[in-house]
Chains A and B, each alone.
Chain A
Amino acid sequence: MMRVLAIALVAALVLVGASLDTSAQSDAPPIKIGYAISRTGPFAPGAQATQEPSYILWAEQVNAAGGLNVKGQKRKIELVSYDDRSEVETIVRTFEKLMVTDKVDLILPPWGSTANFAVAPLADKHGYPVLAPTALSMKLVDMKLPNFFSMLPQPYVLMAAAADMLAANGVKTVAVIYMDDVFGLENIAAFEPAVKAKGIEIVDKKSYPLGIKDLSPVLRAIKDKNPDAFVGLTYPPDTILASKQSKEIGFNPKVFFTAVGTAFPLYKQVMGADSDGVSGIGSWSVKTSPAAKAYFDAHVKRFQKEPDRWASAHCWAGLQILQAAIEKVGMDRKAIREYIASNEHATIIGPVRFKGSEIQFPGTVGQWVGGDFEVVWPANRATAKLVVPKPAWK
Chain B
Amino acid sequence: MRLWIELVVSGLITGGIYALVAMGLNLQYGLMRILNVSHGEFLMLGAYLTYWAYLVMHLSPFVFLPPLLVGLFVVGLVVHRLCFRRLAETTPEVEAFEARSLLVGFGLMFVVQNVALLVWGADLRGYQYLAGTVSIAGVGFTANRLVAFAAALVLGLGLIAVLRATLLGRAVRAMMQSPTGALLVGIDVRRLHPAVFGVGLALAGAAGALLSMVFEISPSMGEPYTVTALIVIALGGFGSVTGSLLGGLLLGVVEAIGMHLTSPSLKMVLSYGVFMLVLITRPNGLFVR
Contact = CB atoms under 8 A, between A and B. Distances in A.
Interface of A: 1-2, 4-5, 7-9, 11-13, 15-16, 18, 38-42, 44-45, 47-49, 180, 206-209, 211-218, 220-221, 224, 236-237, 240-241, 244-245, 247-250, 264, 266, 269-272, 274, 305, 393
Contacts of B128: 269-272
A240 B131 CA distance: 13
B142 A247 contact: yes
Interface string B95-131: 1001100100010011001100100011111111001
A248 B230 contact: no
B140 A8 contact: no
Contacts of B14: 213-214
A38 B122 contact: yes
B256 interface: yes
B260 A39 contact: no
A241 B211 CA distance: 13
B10 interface: yes
Contacts, number: 157
Contact of B268 (A12, A49, A209, A245): A209
Contacts of A218: 259-260, 264
Interface in B237-277: 238, 255-257, 259-260, 263-265, 267-268
A45 B226 contact: no
B216 A270 contact: yes
B220 A13 contact: no
Contacts of A2: 279, 283
Q: Which of A8, A207, A221 has the most CB of B within 10 A?
A: A8
Interface string B216-247: 10111001101100110010001000000000
A7 B102 CA distance: 9
Contact of B264 (A1, A4, A41, A209): A209
A13 B265 CA distance: 18
Interface of B: 3, 6-7, 10, 14, 35, 37, 95, 98-99, 102, 106, 109-110, 113-114, 117, 121-128, 131, 133, 140-142, 145, 215-216, 218-220, 223-224, 226-227, 230-231, 234, 238, 255-257, 259-260, 263-265, 267-268, 279, 283
Nearest to A46: B124
A220 B6 contact: yes
A206 B265 CA distance: 9
Contact of A250 (B123, B140, B220, B226): B140
Contacts of A236: 124, 216
B113 A217 contact: no
B227 A217 contact: no
Contact of B122 (A39, A208, A247): A39
**Top 10 closest pairs, chain A to chain B, by CB:** A208-B264, A44-B122, A217-B260, A45-B124, A270-B126, A248-B142, A48-B122, A207-B265, A4-B98, A16-B113
Given A40-B122, A241-B215, 18 more contacts: A1-B238, A5-B35, A5-B230, A8-B102, A11-B102, A16-B110, A16-B220, A180-B265, A206-B264, A208-B267, A214-B259, A217-B257, A236-B216, A240-B216, A245-B142, A247-B131, A269-B126, A270-B216
A303 to B, nearest CB: 9
B3 A41 contact: no
Most chain-A CB neighbours within 10 Å: which of B128, B220, B230? B220
A248 B141 contact: yes
A217 B256 contact: yes
Main secondary structure of the interface of B (DSSP, over half): helix
A334 B123 CA distance: 36
Contacts of A8: 35, 37, 102, 230
Nearest to A40: B220
Nearest to B124: A45
Nearest to B114: A18
A266 B216 contact: yes
Contact of A305 (B117, B123, B224, B231): B123
A266 B140 contact: no
Contact of B35 (A4, A39, A213, A240): A4
Nearest to A52: B122
B70 to A, nearest CB: 27
A244 B142 contact: yes
A9 B233 CA distance: 12
Contact of A12 (B3, B230, B259): B230
Nearest to B125: A266
B113 A45 contact: no
Nearest to A212: B264
B213 to A, nearest CB: 11
Given A44-B218, A215-B264, A270-B128, A248 B145 contact: yes
Contacts of B238: 1
B142 A45 contact: no
Contact of A40 (B219, B255, B263, B279): B219
B267 A212 contact: yes
Contact of A272 (B6, B114, B131): B131
A88 to B, nearest CB: 16
Contacts of A16: 109-110, 113-114, 220, 223
Nearest to A250: B140
Nearest to A236: B124
Given A40-B220, A248-B141, A206 B263 contact: yes
Most buried by B among A12, A49, A206: A12
A209 B259 contact: no
